[in-house]
Amino acid sequence: MNMSNPTTITFVIYILAMIGIGFAAWRYTKNLSDYILGGRSLGSFVTAMSAGASDMSGWLLLGLPGAVFASGISESWIAIGLTIGAWFNWQFVAGRLRVYTEITRNALTLPDFFTHRFEDTTKILRVIAALVILVFFTIYCASGMVAGARLFEQTFGLSYETALWSGAAATILYVFVGGFLAVSWTDTVQATLMIFALLLTPVIVIMNSGGYESAVNVVNSIDVKYSDLFNGTTLIGVISLMAWGLGYMGQPHILARFMAISSVSAIPKARRIGMTWMILTLIGAIAVGYFGIAYFAGHPDQAAGVEANHETVFITLSNLLFNPWIAGILLSAILAAVMSTLSCQLLVSSSALTEDFYKAFLRPNASQSELVWVGRFMVLLVAVIAIVIAADPASKVLGLVGYAWAGFGSAFGPVVLLSVLWSRMTRNGALAGMLVGAITVIVWRNGAWFGLYEMVPGFILATVAIVVFSLLDKAPSLQIQQEFEQMQREMETAGESLSSPVAD
């Protein structure tokens, strides 16, 4: 690694800054609530930016531009589905989950919330939910480490093993030290870097392709299919891509942001910021891939690397069109995307092990200091397991990301949604929905029936199972009904305050 290279210097400065934020967050981390949810103190801006950064990962700067570069804007259907799903999640889940988790004994994790929401004295909901989180998030963490290793490998010419440890070390350190606040604060910086990169890069690409109209004409002259939103699509294909949006309601690392916001009155502002960030970054990513077609058509001598691997289109354009110092900042955005998602996954996995296994079954009377340190060492445990999985560069971990997204979306999505919207839902309904959703995803994935993304049948059948088993079950207890009504009252009160001219 050449330490005098501007890109290397930029990367090192960026990584040191993230670690510094982690140590700053250490000062505010006094108990398990602080370590897992930041003491429920996040403001609107940090909540919105953190949710966005933890959601998108390297796919936003690598996968989506690469897909559009290869096939055209018909690949945008997934972005449309994600936007709709994210808005629905902010609108109908965020506020209710924030209020409800506090009412249900200040639940700090999703398994904790399910346990208290449905008065599950058997703790079976806690165990199954925590196991789902650990299995899928360990795979998720491994995929993030592979992505980071590939970035370091390509940028600095490191061996895969060295790149893997280099890419993972900084993220592990600031999560270990600062917990949720470190993750949220670094996510905010990382989200800012990502939107800067995705707004600046397409503008420069267009300018170097002769302007907007000229660039579009060049793309159309190659093949009009690149500008056709419906090119090569089928109804099932469009439904499958848009169905990714259903997954938002079941993603623990995104839902944790809703649980951690300072108050429900801060949700609308956070939603506006978050949705604006998301729409702009998705448009930017699509534009990089689309206008990259025009640029490389005019510069075929520079296209060899991109033709070999479409997902490098953002990296290649950054290196070709920008001063090395600016290119270093733009490439740091990819690292930011990887680190932001990986850090959230490590923390949620640690939370499940600490709150839902260690505290719930082994040490229910453990001190807050003990739990914080257990949480820190669980971060290391999950990280080591993920690194072992990612150690084989030929492993197909990255291909499992869509599998994990569908698994969370189907196992948790309907359970979370109906738990905050339907008072008649019961423990048995939640358990049936979780199991049916997860099993359907596994069975459908292996059968690959009709080419339909497993999220669709998984989400639908889980919802049906929840409704059927809840109605067959006896009605929820008076305590559960009263807590649900309390949540509704607090939401109504928050709605009235938000309509007031003096509301923030």
Task: Dump pLDDT digits (tens) for 40-73.
Answer: 999 999 999 999 988 887 788 888 999 999 999 9
Which pLDDT value is given to residue 3? 63
Closest CA to 198 of 55, 65, 320, 323: 65
Per-residue 3-state assignment (H helix, E strand, C coil) for 329-365: HHHHHHHHHHHHHHHHHHHHHHHHHHHHHHHHHHCCC
pLDDT confidence band for 478 (50 / 70 / 90): very high
User: Residues 25, 178: contact at Cβ < 8 Å?
Assistant: yes
Residue 419 and residue 421: Cα distance in Å, rounded? 6
Which pLDDT value is given to residue 56? 83
* Helices 124-156 and 427-447: angle between axes, nearest 10 degrees: 40
Distances (CA, A) of 464 to 292, 425, 461: 44, 12, 5
**Domain extents in the chain:** 6-398
User: Residues 128, 434: contact at Cβ < 8 Å?
Assistant: yes
- In terms of pLDDT, which residue wins out, 54 or 370? 370
Residue 177 and residue 439: Cα distance in Å, rounded? 37
Which of 21-35, 50-64, 86-100, 128-142 is modeled with the greatest confidence?
86-100
Q: Does 258 score more than 60 pLDDT? A: yes
* Helices 413-421 and 401-411: angle between axes, nearest 10 degrees: 30
What is the phi-psi region of residue 232: left when phi exceeds 0, alpha when psi lies from -120 to 50, beta otherwise?
A: left
Which tokens in the block code for residue 63? 């996968």
Q: b/e string for 68-98 if b means 16 or more Cβ within 10 A? A: bbbebbbbbbbbbbbbebbbebbeebbbbbb
414-459 tens-digit pLDDT: 999 999 999 999 999 999 999 999 999 989 988 768 889 999 999 9
- In terms of pLDDT, which residue wins out, 11 or 104? 104
- How large is the average pLDDT for residues 474-489? 96
Which pLDDT value is given to residue 302? 93
Q: b/e string for 428-441 if b means 16 or more Cβ within 10 A? A: bbbbbbbebbbbbb
Which pLDDT value is given to residue 319? 87
- How large is the average pLDDT for residues 113-140? 91
Distances (CA, A) of 246 to 81, 167, 310, 365, 417: 8, 31, 27, 38, 11
User: Residues 48, 363: contact at Cβ < 8 Å?
Assistant: no
Q: Does 496 score more than 60 pLDDT? A: no
- CA dihedral angle for residue 40, residue 45, residue 50, residue 55, rounded to 10 degrees: 120
Which pLDDT value is given to residue 449? 80
**Strand (E) or helix (H) holding 173:** helix 160-207
450: DSSP letter: G
pLDDT confidence band for 503 (50 / 70 / 90): very low
What is the phi-psi region of residue 106: left when phi exceeds 0, alpha when psi lies from -120 to 50, beta otherwise?
A: left
Which tokens in the block code for residue 197? 């990169």
- How large is the average pLDDT for residues 264-280? 95
* Domain 6-398, CATH among 3.40.50.261, 1.10.3720.10, 1.20.1730.10, 1.10.579.10: 1.20.1730.10
Q: Does 500 score more than 60 pLDDT? A: no
Give 261's strand partners. 42
* Per-chain mean pLDDT for the chain: 90
Which pLDDT value is given to residue 314? 92
Closest CA to 146 of 351, 401, 352: 401
Residue 492 and residue 483: Cα distance in Å, rounded? 14
Residue found under tokens 């009904």: 481
pLDDT confidence band for 289 (50 / 70 / 90): very high
382-391 tens-digit pLDDT: 999 888 888 8
Q: Does 123 score more than 80 pLDDT? A: yes
Residue 67 and residue 237: Cα distance in Å, rounded? 15
User: Residues 408, 429: contact at Cβ < 8 Å?
Assistant: no
Helix, strand or coil, per DSSP, at residue 231: coil
Residue found under tokens 């949540």: 487
* pLDDT above 70 coverage of the chain, percent: 96
Which of 256-270, 309-323, 392-406 is modeled with the greatest confidence?
256-270
Which of 180-184, 261-265, 283-287, 400-404 is modeled with the greatest confidence?
283-287
pLDDT confidence band for 504 (50 / 70 / 90): very low
Which pLDDT value is given to residue 103? 96
Q: b/e string for 258-283 if b means 16 or more Cβ within 10 A? A: bbbbbbbbbbbbbbebbbebbeebbb
Which pLDDT value is given to residue 499? 46
**Strand (E) or helix (H) holding 6:** helix 6-26
Which pLDDT value is given to residue 229? 95
Which pLDDT value is given to residue 501? 42
Residue 250 and residue 276: Cα distance in Å, rounded? 22
CB atoms within 10 A of CB 45: 15
- CA dihedral angle for residue 82, residue 83, residue 84, residue 90, rounded to 10 degrees: 100
Phi and psi, residue 261, nearest 5°: -65, 150
Which tokens in the block code for residue 164? 């893997």
- How large is the average pLDDT for residues 130-134? 90
- How large is the average pLDDT for residues 369-383? 92
Phi and psi, residue 42, nearest 5°: -70, 140
Closest CA to 52 of 242, 279, 264: 279
- In terms of pLDDT, which residue wins out, 303 or 499? 303
